[in-house]
Amino acid sequence: MTVDPVWVQGSCTVADVKLAHFWEHIKAHVSFQIMDGVAGAGGEYTLALKEEALDARLEGGRYELNRFELVEKGKKDVLISIPALSVEEVSADVKAREVSVGRVQLTDGKIKSWLSADGTFELQKLFLADLD
The predicted-structure confidence for 64-113, as pLDDT tens digits, reads as follows: 999 999 999 889 999 999 999 999 999 999 999 999 999 999 999 999 98
Q: What is the pLDDT of residues 36-70, one digit of tens each?
A: 999 999 999 999 988 778 899 999 999 999 999 99
Non-local (6+) Cβ contacts of 33 within 8 A are 23, 27, 70, 71, 72, 73, 74
Strands of the chain, DSSP E:
6-18, 32-50, 53-72, 78-93, 98-107, 110-111
Q: Which residue type, as a one-letter code, is found at position 7?
A: W
